[in-house]
Amino acid sequence: MDTITQSVLDKHFCVKDIRFMSIMESKGMDTCDGILGISPKNYNRHAFLAELKIGGLIDRGIISFSNAYYKASFQQKEWARDKHSYAIFGGINETQIVGGEEGLVSMPLVQGSKNPTDFWGVRTRGFAYGKTILMDPSSDDYLLGVVDSGTTLVIVPTVVYENLIHTMAEKFKHNKGIDMVCSRDIASNKIDHCYFNNTKCSGLMEKHADDFDDLKFVFGNFEFTLKPPTLFRDSKNNVEKTGKRVPCCSLGIRHHKDDIENPKRMRFLIGNIFLKNFYSVYDYDTQEVRLGVNTHSEGMASIRPFRDGKSWTEGYQHIPKYFKTHLKKAEDDWKARETHDADNEEKSG
């Protein structure tokens, strides 16, 4: 361990006398967010990023990340030391970005009721698997997309996830070379974890990459595309009859369980399955997120401007009105429950 001297503090960009709290039990903390004080919200003297700038240790109130190379995630173990990822406080490594700093695209943070806890959240306007539109940017209302480098998977609304899995399964149902398995959540009976059994991801992609489609997100005014190999990670499956663990390739996408009963919680959570392919910049000063294709994922990920009314038209198929119908039904059910609960409270009072 280094001796904490002033030279060590200066060298390692440490903030002297920053205030931390250790919370063992909490109530009423729903509006608080942030790890190490790098939330976009201004928490006064509790914000690490702001304190670095106030102390003159950085010139720009930003933190940038380069997450691990996409192929490494196939074999990555939770306990393994990651030698490739890093974060920079106050700066950007433009050599890590395809096109340099000019390769970054900017998206302002969502403000107001859709982002009440002030996450690093941007407007999620569309989502497609190949040319099947699962969330239509031309007609569906946007949802909050929380960009979170501390989350492993990509979490999408339940209705979007179920349509994604059905679309994938439809393509594979007659392919005997692919064993796609999905479990269901016991409480809700919704599709939960999906994986491809008895194969490692490298083998699955080597033999069947052409059977999978690209995944497309529309954040702000930009379309982000990921090739199939980026969406999976190696895992193990327990065989009940024998107790043996066999290899499987897990889809790095899950559904948002909180939105099943409460549509107000419908959102996207953009974790490392997505972010490992991009260099990400979180700008405290301008309140925006910037993303650029990471050099180690060139050819596996891409960004382009999204042109309203033109980008997703020819050759694309829709799941008509299903997203809106589901959302309206969920909202009606939620309002009915709130009214019922209120009536019961009034009667009991």
pLDDT tens readout for residues 177-233: 888 999 888 888 888 889 998 899 989 999 998 899 999 999 999 999 999 999 898
Task: For residues 71 and 125, give the distance between their C-alpha atoms in angstroms, rounded to a whole number.
Answer: 28
Task: For residues 22 and 30, give the distance between their C-alpha atoms in angstroms, rounded to a whole number.
Answer: 16
Enclosing H/E stretch for 111: none
- 54-93 CB burial, b ≥16 within 10 A, e <16: eeebbebbbbbbbbbbbbbbbebeeeeeeeeeeebbbebe
Please list the pLDDT of the chain residue by residue as tens digits (349 residues): 344 455 544 555 555 565 555 666 666 555 555 555 677 876 665 677 877 888 788 889 899 999 876 555 555 554 456 677 888 989 999 999 999 999 999 999 999 888 888 889 999 999 999 999 999 898 888 999 999 988 889 999 988 999 999 999 888 888 888 889 998 888 888 888 899 988 999 899 999 988 999 999 999 999 999 999 998 988 888 777 777 888 999 999 999 877 766 767 788 999 999 999 999 999 999 999 999 999 999 999 999 999 877 788 777 887 655 455 555 555 555 555 555 555 555 555 5
Read off the pLDDT of residues 322-339 as tens digits, 9 standing for 90 and up. Answer: 455 555 555 555 555 555
Segments of the chain assigned E as strands: 62-66, 86-89, 105-108, 121-129, 132-135, 143-147, 154-156, 180-184, 191-197, 215-219, 222-226, 232-238, 245-251, 253-255, 267-270, 278-283, 288-293, 301-305, 317-318
Side by side, which strands form the sheet with 245-251? 180-184, 191-197, 245-251, 232-238
Q: What residues have CB less than 8 Å from 156, skipping those under 6 apart?
A: 127, 164, 253, 254, 255, 256, 268
